[in-house]
Amino acid sequence: MFQNVDMSKFEALNFTFVFMLRRLAFAYTICHLDSTITIQILIIDGMSTALLYFYVGSWPMIDSLNNYSQIFNEAIILICSWSLFLFTDYVPDPKLRHKFGEVFIYILALNLIVNLMILSYSIAKKIQVLLK
């Protein structure tokens, strides 16, 4: 439950609570506010901004790599939530929305690649420590 959370910092102990609260808010937003997509996007944007503020302000993880990873992932979620407006009737041209969709997929692919690189690096580091 507290994997990689710096237990010596008081504000870092709120990490799990804040993370789960955001997940519950996501689920509530999707299930109960399905008629107003603008409100959904604004709530998701606000939650991601608040969590990013929490990560930068409290630096909740033990090592810098995990902190940077959390901040990067939350920044990608925030960028993706901003781009959700581009898939509404705000952009009337379907071809342009399709182009925005391709960029959206590229952003998600970048996130996947960076996370795989971080995972590979951390596994290689642990193997190096075990071999020593």
- E strand map for 28-93: none
Q: Which helix (H) or strand (E) holds 28?
A: helix 15-32
Average pLDDT per run of 10 along the chain, which is 132 residues long?
74 82 88 82 88 89 88 92 83 88 94 95 93 89
Provide the pLDDT for residue 2. 59
Chain centroid, CA 47 distance in Å = 10
Buried-exposed string 91-106: b where 16+ CB fall within 10 A, e elsewhere: eeeeeebeebeeebee
Start-to-end CA distance of the chain, whole Å, equals 29
Show the tokens assigned to 91: 């952009």
Provide the pLDDT for residue 102. 93
Q: What is the domain partition of the chain in residue ranges?
A: 11-131
Residue 132 is given by DSSP the state -
CA distance 106 to 66: 23
Provide the pLDDT for residue 1. 53
Show the tokens assigned to 114: 């960076």
Rounded to two decimals, the pTM is 0.81
Phi, psi at 61, each rounded to 5°: -90, 165
Q: Which residues contact 83 (CB under 8 A, 6 or more apart)?
A: 100, 103, 104, 107
